[in-house]
Structure 1
Amino acid sequence: MVNELKNLFLAGIGSAAYTYEKASKLIDDMVAKGKLTIDEGKDLSEELKRNVKDKTAQYKPLTKEDIISILKEMDYASKTDISIINQRLSVLEEKMKDKA
């Protein structure tokens, strides 16, 4: 489960980087076609960099405690919960064998 959350986080970062690259290319293309001046292109590029930095600064990496807290809020069973259920199931199976 931790790996899935990690992969999801990395996918988000990757998509942000991809979007930034595409936006930068678009700005460069507009400057090359004369639809923007070089100064306007630089300003847009700098604004884009600031926006990306601001957005990424808002997100902190999840700690193990954060993930545990999220999973508890979602009411997922822990390894301990599953172990207890398995033990109880084994006891019930033994009782059923004894009755048969």
Structure 2
Amino acid sequence: MISLKNILLAGIGTAAYTYEKAVDIVDDMVKKGEITIKQGKELTDELKKRSVEGFDNANSNLKQTIMNIENMTQNELEEIKKKINELELK
């Protein structure tokens, strides 16, 4: 079964990769003269800001989910495990 930690790490890796590729695209646009250096810097700064905000939101959501799981009864956890197993079989 995939762990929550692996899902989180995959999400972080995907976000980092996406940010790097976006920065590469902006750099290429600057090199080709499609945008100015100043515009490129502004775009890169905005990408960084949104990436940090997205990570912060994901982190907050993850913490809330963990707290919710920790407060579940054993019966609720067993029911979730059952539903997950049913979905894996599909």
- Structure 2 residue matching 1:77: 3-state secondary structure: helix
Matched letter for residue 15 of structure 1: T
| TM-score (norm: length of structure 1) | 0.62
d(CA) in 2 for partners of 1:39, 1:65:
43
How far residue 27 of structure 1 moved from its aligned partner, in angstroms, is: 0.2
Which ranges in structure 1 are unaligned for 5 or more consecutive residues?
Answer: 79-100
CA-CA distance at 1:4 after TM superposition: 1.2
- Which residue pairs with 1:96 in the alignment? none
Q: Which residue of 1 aligns with 2:50?
A: 51
**Larger Rg, first or second structure (1 or 2):** 1
Question: What is residue 5 of structure 1 aligned with on the other side?
Answer: 4
Give the Cα–Cα distance (whole angstroms) in 1 for the partners of residues 42 and 15 of structure 2. 20
- Identify the residue that residue 35 of structure 1 maps to in structure 2: 34
Task: Give the number of equivalent residue pairs.
Answer: 75
CA distance in 1, matches of 2:41, 2:67: 42
- 3-state SS of the aligned residue for 1:36? coil
Correspondence for 1:24: 23
Name the CA distance, whole Å, in 2 between partners of 1:44 and 1:34. 15
SS in 2 for 1:6: helix
Using the size of structure 2 for normalisation, the TM-score is 0.68
Alpha-carbon distance in 1 for matches of 2:34, 2:46: 18
Q: Which amino acid aligns with 1:38?
A: I
Residue in 2 aligned with 1:95?
A: none
Task: Please give the alpha-carbon distance, in whole angstroms, between the structure 2 residues aligned to 1:55 and 1:15.
Answer: 12
Aligned equivalents of 1:75 and 1:54: distance in 2?
32
Pair 1:30–1:22, CA change in 2 (3 A) = same
The structural deviation recorded for 1:31 is 0.2
